[in-house]
Amino acid sequence: MSDDAHEPQTHRQLAVSLFNRTWELLDKEVRTEAEQAEMLTAAFASRYHWLQIGEPRNFSVSDWQVSRVAAVLGYPELAVEYGKRSLHVASLAGLAPFYVGYAHEALARAARLAGNRDDVKNHLEAATDMLGLVEDAGERELLAGDLSEIGGS
């Protein structure tokens, strides 16, 4: 690997590109097995690059994305593990309610997949508490939509 591969700008570009590719795949209604494997790999690869140069917000969001992908793919243990990581980083770093709320959203989604109704309820309540503290209207709408998707399922 060349020295350029270790430059902060390279890590940032790869992290963003892989994060966006993961979202492209998440947004597809139907994915091939190859796309499912690519989606999980891209989420982890994005996380790797953020860990090289990012800040706690990037770490929490990338852990959240891995959890989301794992939940979509039907891997409850992996979804729970990375949801917990997201919440741990968001809480420890004192991130804004939007990020803490999304960490709880990931854990509610993972708990639903695992069939743990108590955890679903607890994390939805915690996320809803955070939702009330989110100041940005766009962020509030985004989180509210994902929470209603979990609560309505």
pLDDT in tens, 50-70: 999 999 999 999 999 999 999
Say what the pLDDT of residue 151 is: 79
Structural domain span for residue 45: 1-54
Say what the pLDDT of residue 3 is: 47
Domain for residue 60, yes or no?
Answer: no
Domain for residue 67, yes or no?
Answer: no
Q: Are residues 26 and 83 in the same domain?
A: no
Domain for residue 65, yes or no?
Answer: no
Domain for residue 62, yes or no?
Answer: no
Q: How far apart are the first and last CA of the chain?
A: 46
Distance CA 84, CA 134 (A): 21
| Structural contact between residues 127 and 97, judged by C-beta atoms closer than 8 angstroms | no
Residue whose tokens read 């679903």: 120
The set of residues, in sequence order, having a beta carbon less than 8 Å from that of 142 and lying 6+ positions away, is none
Say what the pLDDT of residue 4 is: 52
Average pLDDT, the chain: 94
Q: Is 55 exposed, middle or buried (0-12, 13-18, 19+ CB in 10 A)?
A: exposed
Say what the pLDDT of residue 31 is: 97
Distance CA 27, CA 19 (A): 12
Domain count, the chain: 2
Domain for residue 69, yes or no?
Answer: no
Among 9, 93, 84, which Cα is nearest to 49's? 9
Residue 1 has pLDDT above 60, yes or no: no
